[in-house]
Amino acid sequence: MGQDPITLIIRTLGELYAFVVIMRFLLQIARADYYNPISQAVVKLTSVPMAPLQKLVPRMGRFDLSALILAWGVKFATLLLMFLVVDQIPNVVQLLIYAGIGVFDTILTIMFWAVLASVIISWVAPGSYHPGPQLIQQLTEPLFALARKVIPPIGGLDLSPILIFLVIQIVQSQLSRLVV
């Protein structure tokens, strides 16, 4: 699919909004501070389309899956619009599958960059009170805790980010094989 300006705009806006919706899901899973200004912005940006979905989609324990469904819908609509702009009739089933893979890939990408940012923050500004670093730390800490169960810190050196990076890269390489 060509990169004409309309397609580029549709893709950029769709991906940005899907990113925000996925962030809402990830922040909720990580139990990040709801009163953090960044969390509040994410909630405000997603509250209107999420309201009807939250009534329809039951919660699974502490997980509100309506954000994932909305992200999937945004990815699907983005792909559909991109095809329609270039006058192609898409295969709807394939688009649904690609949208689901896209949501999962975005989750992995967000976590990759959040882990990298968390590592840098731990070197540069440990214990920072700024809302950004606090949110990144809250987002990544559950993942670090899980990885530390596999590789405990050795002599004060935490190797869990390396394991996380490796797992994310392996999963993303397998996802790219599904799309081809």
Q: What is the pLDDT at residue 177?
A: 81
Q: Residues near 136 by Cβ (< 8 Å), separated by ≥ 6? A: 114, 117, 118, 121
**Quick count: other Cβ atoms within 10 Å of Cβ 117?**
16
Q: Residues near 38 by Cβ (< 8 Å), separated by ≥ 6? A: 131, 132, 135
Three-state secondary-structure class, residue 63: strand
- pLDDT digits (tens), the chain, 180 positions: 557 888 899 999 999 999 999 999 999 999 888 899 999 999 999 999 998 888 888 888 778 889 999 999 999 999 999 988 887 888 889 899 999 999 999 999 999 999 999 999 988 888 778 888 999 999 999 999 999 999 888 888 888 999 999 999 999 999 888 765
Residue 60, beta-bridge partner list: 63
Task: Answer whether 10's CB lies under 8 Å from 79's CB.
Answer: no
